[in-house]
Amino acid sequence: MPIIINIDVMLARRKMSSGELAEKVGISPANLSILKTGKAKAVRFTTLAALCKALDCQPGDILEFQPEG
């Protein structure tokens, strides 16, 4: 998948736990884990906005495109 998810990087920068982020965003820790590992097939804009608000960042800080090949 050419989309890289940098939630772990942002968590480390903000010194925040996954559980704390899941609670602030309003999603389960299991769903956050699916997002973090890149196994999610889609992300709702409302979830992305909540992640950005909780992590005080921009969508580009969380999502990165790396072309394959």
Would you say residue 23 lies in a domain? yes
Does residue 27 fall inside a structural domain?
yes
Q: Is residue 66 part of a domain?
A: no
- Does the residue 69 lie in any domain? no
State mean pLDDT over 4-28: 96
Structural domains counted in the chain = 1
Q: What is the pLDDT of residue 68?
A: 82
Question: Which CATH number does the domain housing residue 13 bear?
Answer: 1.10.260.40
What is the structure's pLDDT at 49? 97
How large is the average pLDDT for residues 8-12? 96
**What is the extent of the structural domain holding 29?**
3-61
Q: Over 15-67, what HEC string results?
A: CCCHHHHHHHHCCCHHHHHHHHCCCCCCCCHHHHHHHHHHHCCCHHHHEEECC
The model's pTM is: 0.91
| In a domain? residue 67 | no
